[in-house]
Amino acid sequence: MRAAWRAADIRAAEEALIPTLPPGTLMQRAAAGLARRCASVLAARGGVYGARVLLLVGAGNNGGDALYAGARLASRGAAVTALLVAPDRAHAEGLAALRAVGGRAVTELPAVADMIVDGILGSGARGPLRGAAADVVENLPGVRASAGGRPVVVAVDVPSGVDVNTGQVEGPVVPADVTVTFGCLKPALVVGAAVTYAGHVDVVDIGLPWLAVRPAAWVPELSDVRRWWPTLTPASDKYNRGVVGLATGSSAFPGAALMSVAGALGGPTGMVRYAGQVADEVVRAHPSVVPAGRVADAGRVQAWVCGCGLGTDRRAGEELRAVLGAPVPAVIDADALTLLSHGDLSSWLRQREAPTVVTPHDREFARLAGDQPGPDRLAAATELAAQLGVVVLLKGDRTIVATPEGTVWVNPTGTPALATAGTGDVLAGLLGSLLAAGLPADRAAVAAAFTHGLAGRAAADRLGGEHAPVTAPDVAAALREVVATLAP
């Protein structure tokens, strides 16, 4: 797993480190890493020597990084020009270093550049780009590469125009092909609209210590999910692998039952029980499932999934109440979230002692929290988790998992291929299976989101790419193959 820290926490760590090092060491390390990455990008596009590099230099240290990196590229034969966005406040030593090796400073945007290095703003950015910085960014699309086409863009630390701590993008922004970031990830590189502007993210080690404060977010990796995933042993049987129950679907929405069951069958449990109105359809499609009409008649399970396509009528409310009253972990999804948001059922949620995961998308989040998540999705998910005392899985391009204790995860495997009806049901079923198999609620939620994302990508790949018309059954089918690759 990797951590993303907030700008203020990174700054505090840098300030503690700076007095222990010769002056300028951190910036030199940053610039060296930045120049190395720029050189390799240029090498892949015809070479460093003679390449036209345009540095966009803001008023702070982010511009200083760009200037020093530019000096390194100039000394390797690149033609480096620095556009000073705030000429009287540009990093003086960095500018002198660039000039010493033949680089030039300008105040107008040139017409041609093969590479743009965006050092306008980094972690010191406050609010949307203003003044000269905003003007420069608006005119960037007019710059062309020597051979035609658009220049390749490398962002320094974060793309200029993003909110470093939330990933919000409110005004003009410099979209990057590559972002070279220093020391560690920042929230804007893992969550929010900013993610789509960062391109490929490279972390350069500048010797920053592991920060003692809680990260803004953790980003899981495949190795984490592999480590957590329950394994089969010779002693495994259908009961000790866990039994998951699904109180999902209804006569009006039979497909939701089928999709949630398909998700559960992709998980690690040894048995899936279904309790609901469409048991016949479920068993026809999935003969291994053990059916019942109601939660109360379903027999023992180690976790429940409730809500997908359940409806919001009196019967649905009774089934949700039965699930919330059961002393086992539960996933509360879709219609069950709507039911929770009116009436007294939310007090049932607070009284539960077994782990609970709620899985809202933005509109369901608004029903639970009273408002949409807003631009700071990490904070919104964390607040709701603390308020309800449950794990919140806030769905999105970068799904967030927040615990009541304040630990936050951002899933990196999301894909637009999953933006189709029924994929949420598959996720809920899979998550229930992981809970029933004994994973702690936050790990179960993170592992489910991660694997579900991989399944979405695999389904799209099989159909020919990200824009293929993926359906929820495609995702469920791909899920079992993805899970098979998790084996140690």
Ligand X SMILES: NC(=O)C1=CN([C@@H]2O[C@H](COP(=O)(O)OP(=O)(O)OC[C@H]3O[C@@H](n4cnc5c(N)ncnc54)[C@H](O)[C@@H]3O)[C@@H](O)[C@H]2O)[C@@H](O)CC1
Binding residue ranges for K(+): 62, 118, 160
> Which amino acid would we find at residue 94?
G
What minimum distance in Å lies between the beta carbon of 127 and ligand X?
5
Q: Residues 200, 204, 205, CA angle at the centre, nearest 5°?
A: 150
Closer to ligand X by CB, 157 or 335: give it.
Answer: 157
What minimum distance in Å lies between the beta carbon of 179 and ligand X?
11
Closer to ligand X by CB, 195 or 460: give it.
Answer: 195
3-state secondary structure 27-51: HHHHHHHHHHHHHHHHHCCCCCCCC
Closer to ligand X by CB, 14 or 425: give it.
Answer: 14
Q: How far apart are CA 185 and CA 188, in angstroms?
A: 8
The answer to whether the CB of 73 falls within 8 A of the CB of 184 is no
Binding residues for AMP, as ranges, are 395-399, 424
Name the 3-class secondary structure at 195. Answer: helix
Closer to ligand X by CB, 93 or 280: give it.
Answer: 93
What minimum distance in Å lies between the beta carbon of 89 and ligand X?
7
> Which amino acid would we find at residue 300?
R
Closer to ligand X by CB, 59 or 436: give it.
Answer: 59
Q: Which residues bind ligand X (CB under 6 A)?
A: 11, 14, 18, 26-27, 30, 58-63, 65, 121-131, 133, 156-157, 182, 206
Closer to ligand X by CB, 63 or 230: give it.
Answer: 63
Binding residues, as ranges, are 61-65, 118, 122-128, 157, 160, 256, 309, 361, 395-399, 424-425
Alpha carbon 291 to its chain's center = 36
Q: Residue 329 corresponds to which tokens in the numbers above?
A: 């972990």
What minimum distance in Å lies between the beta carbon of 57 and ligand X?
9
Closer to ligand X by CB, 122 or 414: give it.
Answer: 122
What minimum distance in Å lies between the beta carbon of 18 and ligand X?
6
The answer to whether the CB of 220 falls within 8 A of the CB of 1 is yes
Residue 115 region by backbone torsions, left for phi larger than 0, else alpha for psi between -120 and 50, else beta: beta
- β-sheet with 271-275: strand ranges across: 2-4, 217-219, 408-410, 400-402, 391-394, 356-358, 330-332, 303-306, 243-247, 271-275, 290-292
List Cβ neighbours of 234 (8 Å cut-off, separation of 6 or more). Answer: none
In eight-state DSSP terms, residue 106 is E
The residue ranges of DSSP E strands in 259-344, in sequence order, are 271-275, 290-292, 303-306, 330-332
221 closest CA partner among 455, 3, 440, 470: 3
- Specify the residue for token string 């710059």: 143
CA distance between the termini of the chain: 18
Closer to ligand X by CB, 16 or 252: give it.
Answer: 16
What minimum distance in Å lies between the beta carbon of 133 and ligand X?
4
What minimum distance in Å lies between the beta carbon of 31 and ligand X?
7
Closer to ligand X by CB, 11 or 238: give it.
Answer: 11
Q: How far apart are CA 446 and CA 21, in angstroms?
A: 39
Question: What is the phi/psi pair of residue 394, to 5°?
Answer: -95, 110
Q: How far apart are CA 186 and CA 325, in angstroms?
A: 40
